[in-house]
Amino acid sequence: MLEEIASASARPLDPGSPLTRDTECSGDGPGRAAVDFPVAVILPAGGSGERMGLPTPKQFCTILNRPLISYTIQAFERLSWIGTVVVVVAKENHDLMLNIVREFHHTKVKVVHGGTSRHRSVFNGLQAFSNSTDDSLTPKPKVVIIHDAVRPFVEEDLLLKITLAAKEEGASGAIRPLVSTVIATTLEGYLDHSLERAKYRASEMPQGFLYDIIFQAYQLCSEYDFDFGTECLHLALQYCGTNAKLIEGPPTLWKVTYKRDLAAAEAIIKENLSTSACVITEAAAEAVELAGTLQKNLATQGMVLVGVSSPELFLRLDMHLFESSREMKEKVKLNTTKRSFDTQKTDEITTFMRLASEVKQANVQLYGIQIDHTKVSELWERSAARLADITVALIRDRNPALIGQLLQA
């Protein structure tokens, strides 16, 4: 039982893969076979985030205690066919970025300093690779993927298409249909004409390039391009005659731009993390019945019950997991005990709160739910339904302020 819970729960709750349900997260996905050449990534992350109206640049804003950029890095790092991820940051954020790399155990990241524009930053990133045999430099890849630090939900499927098209055609880019009509304005601020929507697309990220093509484009382009150009694909066309292959991406590609986008990103991450619950019960004999009822109720919410254990098992289990795996971060646990008011003393609550605060150190969120094991089936069903509601709510919200609370179902 112990092993079953450990293995079943460690994967779907891994915070490093916000799209667990939709994508292949191991390095053994379809990409490994298809990509037999070196691929690197450049993540420009020098933006100041003015549009957010927040003091922190958006790529460093945290969602569930993890900076946005760490989710994005992880989306690339988890793929075995992707090598170095060059993160380009403003000089003042260099130490912050190194701390993130350390804290979230990123292993493929190389941090370099950005320039005064997005293009200068990307070019700095490209220069982190080398044609020479100098061992201190990373050898240049065949294909380089350019992405945004603030688009955390990029899937292997699309990365693969972008990479293979870039290898084949020299350049490739993700596109999306336009959400709004695009209009041209007169100098005086009046409508000049509107564009026919069907002929145009929004250019998104990721984009892929043969390293030699994009490097050459930057070597040839003008200072004006460096300062005011917005589109790498345009440089490849203008300076290397390469027409990029365009590939339609999913809506999840969107860029975290405004403050509200952080809430949207958090909701997506939570929804993908919140797919399983582990129940620990005091009364082993009743656990099976309770688990059955809870399982049925959770299923209607798209969640899975991964295991039931006694409190002693829970403690041993957790100690085991805490020590063996960093995957356990932000795991949510439910403590379901039989409600027993007579014995509910200060001691019990205090003990539970202390336990919760201890396991919190290991990023396990422990909440308690007490349930009356009544023989009146109507009351029991109501309590079981409430148990499921509270369980779902706690797992979805992952609210640190409620850790260690003993709730009543």
Q: Name residues contacting a copy of itself, limited to 305-364 (CB under 8 A).
A: 341, 344-346, 349, 353
The distance from CA 342 to its chain's CA centroid, rounded to whole angstroms, is 45
Strand order in the sheet with 304-309: 304-309, 276-281, 331-338, 364-371, 406-408
In angstroms, give the least distance from the CB of 267 to a copy of itself.
3
What whole-number distance in Å separates Cα of residue 94 and Cα of residue 142? Answer: 27
In angstroms, give the least distance from the CB of 25 to a copy of itself.
21
Positions in 11-70 near a copy of itself (CB under 8 A): 51
Largest interatomic CA distance in the chain? 81
Positions in 239-298 near a copy of itself (CB under 8 A): 243-247, 251-252, 254-255, 257-258, 260-261, 263-268
What would the 3-class secondary structure string for 97-148 be? HHHHHHHCCCCCEEEEECCCCHHHHHHHHHCCEECCCCCCCEECCCEEEECC
**Applying CB under 8 A, does 392 fall inside the site for a copy of itself?**
yes
Among 32, 176, 329, 360, binds a copy of itself (CB under 8 A): 176
Q: Which is nearer to a copy of itself, 190 or 285 (CB)?
A: 190
Q: Which of 217, 75, 263 is nearest to 156 (CA)?
A: 75
Report whether 302 contacts 395 (CB < 8 A): no
Positions in 220-239 near a copy of itself (CB under 8 A): 230-231, 233-234, 237
Cβ atoms within 10 Å of 396's Cβ, excluding its own: 16
Stretch that binds a copy of itself, among 94-102, 111-119, 120-128, 401-409 (CB under 8 A): 401-409
**Applying CB under 8 A, does 375 fall inside the site for a copy of itself?**
no
In angstroms, give the least distance from the CB of 54 to a copy of itself.
13
In angstroms, give the least distance from the CB of 199 to a copy of itself.
6
Q: Which is nearer to a copy of itself, 295 or 405 (CB)?
A: 405
Among 91, 300, 361, 401, binds a copy of itself (CB under 8 A): 401
In angstroms, give the least distance from the CB of 237 to a copy of itself.
6
**HSE value, Cβ hemisphere, 13 Å, CA-based, for 186:** 6
